[in-house]
């Protein structure tokens, strides 16, 4: 690889140098400096990771390099971005004329964005869109461009490239779309690839595949990569050098191993301490709450305490028992309204949750984990199966009891902003469960209760009068937790409730949930795709795949002794925040199969066996036969 670099540029001469770059949005008094005096170098053929949480200015930096901030209302106020392509003269992108920039964008510098669906034009075929870049920059004719497009699709390991050329974006899965985006970005052999959170929206196993592809192609083509991400695990896997950004400023820059081994800036230390690390709980039977380091007035501070979460009470009967729960949705109907296909979202799933226990339901998109949560919350009607809450069958309850159940089971959604009504104050939203279940009827008593709840989740009583948009993401999730607690529930279903949050906020919310569990003897059904968070919070884990639980057992058993191949695959796919760890050459291939089936073609329900007490695993040979 080193001689590769020598070919591209004189040794030591960076491909891209950013010097005291500042970007401002708005004008006059309302001007907001999103990026302040950033400087860094990108070496040819190397990967520079720009890490930061939301609002750190990392995305704005990447847009500013391409001068795309011009189109989003931003202005580069100071600094220069020196680009040194191997042939052609050195160029300052900040002052370059528009026509030069257009020639560089997509040609010498290419970009991949987070959301592959929105970056692809829905009305053109995949082939047309890749070919467009080629005809534009390389002057190829339509036929040659299409054959190059096909070669590119093969390069990103998309099977059946020829037929894919004629497909439209919506016909592809998220992972496939992101590969198409990579193929488009690499179409003109760029010197520099800017990848802005390219795997954040993808499932872990798909993320692992995409990261492998980017890494391999980078070595093959000698492309330098700027990798924008918030995920320290991805940084550890991908980066050569790391720039840490915080509130628009660069706080630290170092080679990747040094950042992880000896972080200097307090913010970097806080960030790294908040990252949940898979394997950190090995040998511990119970989940453990640990303090979180936060930055307060520029100085690091530990908040919270260490506590072993011994809240689960297995001597009492389970609070929730789910038996052979099946939920299917109709899709595809004939002209006469006969259903031809169904989504088999959940197939004969059984589990129970004990008082004070956290059961994690893990799986990738389409595994049916959210459907289970929503079925339990009566947002979806189950097709068959029984659900017993405190020993009473939900199916045979009268409407009044079912309503009462909505008081005892609460649901926290993934996106706190979307789940709060923008037109009401958060005080109104938190009071709503109290009002609809007539728990208190005096206005003053309700207000007092709302204030008490706000304090319980670490907010101030006077926040009650504010609207959701006036809070940060983490605060909003606290509001949602306060709302869930308002009706004194016994069970809380947390559906990806910490997945959208920054890691430092995530760690605090996880601690809050654990603290509340201890105080109120709450049970949680913790639905997530994030294995590292699961390891931290849960007493027991159920792994879901295609609507069925393939493995269930104590957290220790599932993580330290995974029996099902899918569980192992899932665990292997998680990026580990440790660059010193030997990168296992992982062989994760293939898409997640679809759960849509024609009527009459029922999936085979796995039989399960107990490998050790309380640890059940689906028998795989049968599953394979069922799939065939």
Partner 1 sequence: MAAAEGARGTRWQFTSMELVAGLVLTGTMTLAVLFSPILFPDGGESMDLTARLIPPFQSSAHLLGTDPLGRDVLARVVVGGKISLMVGVLSVIGAVILGTLVGLIAGYYRGIAEILLMRFADIQLALPFILIAIMFLAILGTGIDKVIFFMIVAQWVQYARLVRGSVLALRDREFILSARAIGVGNVRIIAQHILPNVLGPIVILMTLNVANNILLESSLTFFGLGVDPLIPSWGGMLADGRTYLQSAWWVSVFPGLAIMFTVLGLNLLGDWLRDSLDPTGQTGQ
- Nearer to partner 1 by C-beta: 236 or 485? 485
**How far from the centroid of its chain's Cα atoms is residue 582's Cα?**
24
Spell out, one character per residue from 343 to 382, where the chain touches partner 1: x when CB under 8 A holds, - when not. ----------------------------------x-x---
Min CB(487)–partner 1 separation in Å: 7
**Cα gap 4→11, rounded to integer Å:** 11
Q: Does 331 bind partner 1 (CB under 8 A)?
A: no
Phi, then psi, of 74 in degrees rounded to 5: -95, 160
Residue of 77, 55, 45 whose CA lies nearest to 64: 77
Q: Which of 119, 273, 358, 407 binds partner 1 (CB under 8 A)?
A: 407
User: With binding defined as CB under 8 A, does residue 167 bind partner 1?
Assistant: no
Alpha-helical regions (H) of 524-589: 531-537, 555-560, 565-573
Phi and psi dihedrals of 162, rounded to 5? -60, -45
314: left (phi over 0), alpha (psi -120 to 50) or beta: alpha
Is 104 or 431 the residue whose CB approaches partner 1 more closely? 431
Give the number of C-alpha atoms closer than 13 A to the C-alpha of residue 349, restricted to the C-beta side: 33
What DSSP state is assigned to residue 606? Answer: P
Residue 607 CA to residue 65 CA, distance in Å, equals: 55
- Three-class DSSP category at 376: helix
Q: Does 75 bind partner 1 (CB under 8 A)?
A: no
Q: Does 432 bind partner 1 (CB under 8 A)?
A: yes
**Contact region for partner 1 (CB under 8 A) — 181-189, 390-398, 399-407, 560-568?**
399-407
Residue in this structure with the two tokens 């907001």, named with its chain if needed? 32
Residue (130 or 361) nearer to partner 1, CB? 361
Our CB check for partner 1 shows the closer of 25 and 168 to be 25
- Does 22 bind partner 1 (CB under 8 A)? Our answer is no
Q: If you search the block for the tokens 């309302």, which residue do you land on?
A: 30
- Is residue 170 involved in binding partner 1 (CB under 8 A)? no
What is the nearest approach in angstroms of partner 1 to the Cβ of residue 453? 14
User: In the stretch 438-477, what mask flags binding to partner 1 with x, by CB under 8 A?
Assistant: -----------------------------x-x--------
By C-beta, is 283 or 399 nearer to partner 1?
Answer: 399
Q: Which pair of tokens denotes residue 397?
A: 């309850």
Stretch of 42-50, 195-203, 424-432, 546-554 lying at the interface with partner 1 (CB under 8 A):
424-432
Q: Looking up tokens 């496939």, which residue turns up?
A: 176
Question: Which positions from 27 through 56 interact with partner 1, judged by CB under 8 A?
Answer: 28-32
For CA atoms 64, 67, 70, 72, the dihedral sign is: negative
Is 143 an interacting residue with respect to partner 1 (CB under 8 A)? no
Q: Cα(212)–Cα(206) distance, rounded to whole angstroms?
A: 10
**Shortest Cβ distance from residue 436 to partner 1 (Å)?**
5
- Positions touching partner 1 (CB under 8 A) are 25-26, 28-32, 377, 379, 403, 406-407, 410-411, 413, 415, 418-425, 432-433, 436-437, 467, 469, 480, 483, 487
């Amino acid at each position: 690889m080193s001689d590769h670099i020598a070919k591209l540029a004189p040794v030591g001469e960076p491909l891209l140098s950013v010097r005291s770059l500042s970007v401002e949005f708005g004008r006059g008094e309302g001007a907001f400096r999103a990026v302040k005096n950033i400087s860094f170098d990108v070496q040819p053929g190397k990967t520079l990771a720009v890490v930061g949480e939301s609002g750190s200015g990392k995305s704005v930096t990447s847009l500013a390099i391409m001068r795309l901030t011009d189109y989003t209302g931003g202005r580069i106020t100071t600094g220069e971005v020196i680009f040194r392509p191997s042939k052609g003269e050195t160029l300052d992108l900040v002052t370059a004329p528009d026509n030069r920039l257009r020639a560089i964008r997509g040609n010498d510098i290419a970009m991949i964005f987070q959301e592959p669906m929105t970056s692809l034009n829905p009305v053109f075929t995949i082939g047309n869109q890749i070919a467009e870049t080629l005809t534009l920059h390389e002057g190829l004719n339509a036929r040659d461009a299409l054959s190059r497009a096909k070669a590119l699709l093969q390069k990103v390991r998309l099977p059946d490239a020829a037929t894919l050329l004629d497909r439209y974006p919506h016909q592809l899965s998220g992972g496939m779309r992101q590969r198409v985006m990579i193929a488009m970005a690499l179409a003109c052999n760029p010197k520099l690839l800017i990848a802005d959170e390219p795997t954040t929206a993808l499932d872990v196993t798909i993320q692992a595949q995409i990261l492998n592809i980017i890494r391999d192609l980078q070595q093959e083509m000698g492309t330098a990569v700027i990798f924008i991400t918030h995920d320290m695990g991805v940084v550890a896997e991908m980066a050569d050098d790391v720039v840490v950004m915080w509130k628009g400023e660069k706080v630290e820059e170092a080679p990747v191993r040094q950042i992880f081994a000896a972080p200097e800036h307090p913010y970097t230390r806080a960030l790294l301490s908040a990252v949940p690390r898979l394997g950190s709980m090995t040998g511990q039977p119970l989940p453990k709450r640990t303090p979180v380091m936060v930055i307060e007035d520029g100085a690091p501070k530990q908040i919270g305490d260490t506590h072993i979460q011994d809240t689960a009470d297995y001597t009492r009967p389970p609070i929730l028992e789910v038996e052979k729960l099946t939920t299917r949705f109709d899709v595809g109907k004939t002209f006469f309204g006969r259903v031809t296909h169904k989504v088999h979202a959940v197939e004969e799933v059984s589990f129970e949750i004990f008082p004070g226990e956290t059961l994690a339901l893990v799986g990738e998109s389409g595994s049916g984990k959210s459907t289970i949560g929503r079925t339990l919350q009566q947002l979806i009607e189950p097709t068959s199966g029984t659900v017993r809450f405190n020993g009473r069958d939900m199916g045979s309850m009268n409407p009044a009891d079912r309503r009462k159940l909505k008081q005892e089971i609460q649901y926290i959604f993934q996106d706190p902003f979307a789940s709060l009504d923008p037109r009401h104050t958060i005080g109104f939203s938190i009071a709503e469960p109290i009002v609809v279940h007539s728990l208190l009827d005096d206005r003053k008593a309700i207000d007092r209760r709302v204030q008490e709840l706000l304090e319980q989740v670490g907010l101030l009583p006077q926040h009650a009068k504010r609207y959701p948009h006036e809070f940060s993401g983490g605060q909003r999730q606290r509001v949602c937790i306060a709302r869930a607690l308002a009706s004194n529930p016994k069970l809380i279903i947390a559906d990806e409730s910490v997945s959208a949050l920054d890691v430092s906020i995530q760690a605090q919310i996880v601690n809050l949930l654990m603290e509340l569990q201890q105080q109120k003897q709450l049970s949680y059904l913790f639905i997530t795709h994030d294995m590292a968070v699961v390891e931290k919070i849960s007493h027991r884990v159920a792994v879901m795949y295609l609507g069925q639980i393939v493995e269930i057992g104590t957290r220790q058993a599932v993580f330290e002794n995974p029996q099902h191949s899918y569980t192992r695959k899932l665990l292997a796919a998680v990026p580990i925040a440790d660059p010193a760890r030997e990168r296992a050459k992982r062989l994760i291939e293939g898409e997640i199969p679809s759960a849509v089936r024609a009527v009459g073609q029922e999936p085979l329900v796995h039989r399960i066996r107990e490998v050790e007490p309380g640890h059940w695993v689906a028998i795989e040979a049968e599953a394979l036969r069922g799939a065939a």
